Amino acid sequence: MSNNVIPIGCDHAGFELKLKIMDHLQKKGFEIKDFGTYSADSIDYPDYGHPVAEMVEANNGMLGIVICGSGNGINMTVNKHQGIRSALCWTVEIAQLAREHNDANIIALPARFISEELAIQMVDVFLTTAFEGGRHANRVAKIPC
């Protein structure tokens, strides 16, 4: 699986933002694996977060995106997967540090609390920032239970 593939999933509150992010990433040449939801009708976020986490877990080096109203529920869902380190981000700096220091492999976005412009900036930084390793690698290795 190519690192050019980005799995994405959201709940109803994140649906519109997901469409904007997908459009942005496709214009940049990324292939999107859209796990839904496919409308603004009320749904349960775990049904759309788990498939993103499973795909990221199965493809070393892949990064994913999840979105819900607060970002919390879907972030908690994907972080139940042993190989996932999802970061709930609300600033560009947090998105950058999540990759540099925590080797996060999924970014969780709070659709009701951020602008479309900020979401796209955070996704761009998240996808282009490398893990620093070094002193952070030992810490990250201690995360799994």
- Residue 9 corresponds to which tokens in the numbers above? 């999933």
The pLDDT value given to residue 26? 98
Whether residue 4 lies inside any domain: the answer is: no
Please report whether residue 2 resides in a domain. Answer: no
In this structure, is residue 113 part of a structural domain? Answer: yes
Is residue 65 in some structural domain? yes
Does the residue 1 lie in any domain?
no
* pLDDT recorded at residue 117: 98
The pLDDT score that the predictor gives to residue 112 is 98
Q: What is the 3-state secondary structure (H, E, C) of the chain?
A: CCCCEEEEEECHHHHHHHHHHHHHHHHCCCEEEECCCCCCCCCCCHHHHHHHHHHHHHCCCCCEEEEECCCHHHHHHHCCCCCCCEEECCCHHHHHHHHHCCCCCEEEEECCCCCHHHHHHHHHHHHHCCCCCCHHHHHHHCCCC
What pLDDT shows up at residue 107?
A: 99
pTM to 2 decimal places: 0.97
The reply to whether 10 belongs to the active site is no
Residue 101 is a catalytic residue: yes
Q: Answer whether 61's CB lies under 8 Å from 3's CB.
A: yes
In a domain, 135, yes or no: yes
- Please indicate, yes or no, if residue 54 is contained in any of the structural domains: yes
pLDDT score for 29: 97
Tokens of 60: 């070393």
Q: Supply the pLDDT for residue 145.
A: 85
Task: Name the catalytic one among 12, 50, 68, 81.
Answer: 68
Which tokens in the block code for residue 3? Answer: 């690192």
What average pLDDT does the structure give for the chain?
96
The whole domain housing 53 covers 9-141
Question: How many domains does the chain divide into?
Answer: 1
Cα–Cα dist 66/52, whole Å: 8
Burial of 126 (0-12, 13-18, 19+ CB in 10 A): buried
* Residues in the chain, pLDDT under 50: 1
CATH assignment of the domain containing 39: 3.40.1400.10
Residue 20 lies in a domain: yes
Alpha-carbon distances, residue 119 vs 16, 90, 108 (angstroms): 12, 8, 10
Q: What pLDDT is stored for residue 2 in this prediction?
A: 58
